[in-house]
Structure 1
Amino acid sequence: MTFQNPSRDEIKQILEQTNTIAVVGLSDNPERTSYMVSEAMQAKGYRIIPVNPNADVILGEKCYPSLKDIPHPVDLVNVFRRSEHTPPIAEETVAIGAKVLWLQLGVHNDEAAAIAQKGGVQIIMDRCIKVEDSILLPQGKSKS
């Protein structure tokens, strides 16, 4: 079966329900896409949790070496890693009980998608979360 991302309406609902985003592969270099996207999402009101074993603090938030090390709930896992590295990230996403696994633009892995789906986690692949958020929630998240 060919993978298909959720509809735009479903993605909008996911973003509206998301508060905490763990970002796997978030760089502490402000010139990197992962930093710029995460900084923009943080400015829109999302809590960004950096997952980077080589840094202590990024964007004012404590870094964790892996998803399993984060001591509080995560709504969505956003991934800035090469496609071939995503299956173990999908396994950790399921293990921590996150609701959504989001593979950034250019990242696609059918095995990771199958792991997530089997674990009850929604998956979005090959899309930029910042672009989708800007299009679908231009005024920011509605406070319910």
Structure 2
Amino acid sequence: MSHSLAPAVAPEFVYKLISPAASFIPSDRVLPLSALDKADGFYHLSTSAQVPGTANRFFPGSKFGDLLILKIRFAGIEPLVKWEAAKGEHPKDASRIFPHVYGDLLQEHVVGTILMNWIPEEAAWDFAAGWEDRLQQ
């Protein structure tokens, strides 16, 4: 793990955003790589604080019909994670440092899912307070 960019306290959970939701098949042993993951050579993940921004920036409802969020226990994947800035960025704060998984992300690491709702009036996904509590176990 890249310790220079890693947070001082590891998160309990990290999140993988998937669209379309139908591309997530719970019986698959290894989670599929998105087109962006394949191009970059790793799985893109986010911390809970980063999820709303990532969702609304990279998965706009005008382009994506649905959005599934996978909740992943960090301890199970920690050896595969490198904390890195988004491509081309040199952030001054930790909010722009993301967990990236190099290696296989296994179904056994997923501990919950949530299918997000798009709010057309707000042009944003529904990240009302407590969105993590809506995760299905």
Common fold by TM > 0.5: no
Between structures 1 and 2, the one with greater helix share: 1
Between structures 1 and 2, the one with greater strand share: 2
TM-score scaled by structure 2?
A: 0.29
TM-score scaled by structure 1?
A: 0.28
